[in-house]
Amino acid sequence: MYFQTHGAGRPLILLHGGLGSGEMFGPALPALAEHHQVITVDLQGHGRTADIDRPIDLWFMADDIAALIDHLGLDKPDVVGYSLGGGVALRIAARYPAKVGRLVAASIFLRRDAVYPEILAQQGQVNAAAAEFMKDTPMYELYQRVAPRPEDFPRLLDKIGEAMAQDFDLTEEVRGLQVPTLIVAADADMAPPSHFVEVFNLLDGGLRDGGWMNEGRPKGGHALAILPGVTHYNIVSSPLFATATLAFLDQ
């Protein structure tokens, strides 16, 4: 599994979105690395990490990152993930709470049906046959430039399509999170803002006034950020993403 290390300070593992790599965080990466040792990871079959003979499953990827934490001897690093990587980050915190300091999960969903129907329809068209139509996209260009086996792109599309077709419900995993968690979303994300409020509700947030002394805030130290003027596709390149992330991690 390929990773890079940037900066110095308390360790932070940064997990990219589907069909991307650690490079997709753009201007957010140097901002985060000013304050933290940032470890960017290329997840299974993405970027510079070759695919292996297993499905793309976010629980398997969570196990990979837990093994990386052990391999590097990290003491409760913070974990920050976006989209696919946010789902992996959430699963790491749910399965391995003793290994994680704080969690930032951006553009993640409790259930598959939280996503707008037209987006689910588009996701249903992601398979190897779509590779030809994606040759002008940044995802294809990145994969061809850095992947150890560039010819595996159709296989990655097949696996990602199969993963996105699976139903899931993370309600109980979110409700049981023991790690202070920031839920981040775009105000024009792949699900309505109300869905991210629902996630926050499960974390004891948004249920009462916060109080003069923060006494009404979520008991687990959780928080919610809806970032204005961005979408699912450009949220991590917004300066607001790094600002909100650092404000939560360093408070």
pLDDT tens digit sequence for 175-187 = 999 999 999 999 9
Q: Grade residue 72 by pLDDT with cuts at 50, 70 and 90.
A: very high
Contact 111, 87 (CB under 8 A): no
Average pLDDT over residues 114-131: 96
CA 119 – CA 103 distance, rounded (Å): 26
Average pLDDT over residues 206-220: 97
Residues 6+ away with beta carbon under 8 Å from 184: 104, 105, 106, 107, 224, 225, 227, 235, 241, 244, 245
Q: What percent of the chain has pLDDT over 90?
A: 96
One-letter amino acid for residue 118 of the chain:
E
Give the pLDDT confidence score for residue 170 in this predicted structure: 98
Q: Grade residue 27 by pLDDT with cuts at 50, 70 and 90.
A: confident
Contact 165, 124 (CB under 8 A): yes
> Is 218 a residue whose pLDDT tops 90?
yes
Give the pLDDT confidence score for residue 251 in this predicted structure: 84
Give the pLDDT confidence score for residue 129 in this predicted structure: 94
Average pLDDT over residues 230-239: 96
Give me 97's structure tokens.
């709470």
Give me 86's structure tokens.
């946010």
> Is 100 a residue whose pLDDT tops 90?
yes
Q: Grade residue 57 by pLDDT with cuts at 50, 70 and 90.
A: very high
Query: How would you label 18-39 residue by residue, b for 16+ Cβ within 10 Å and e otherwise?
Result: bbbbbbbbeebbebbbebbbbb
Report which of 75, 11, 8 is spatially closest to residue 41, judged by C-alpha positions.
11
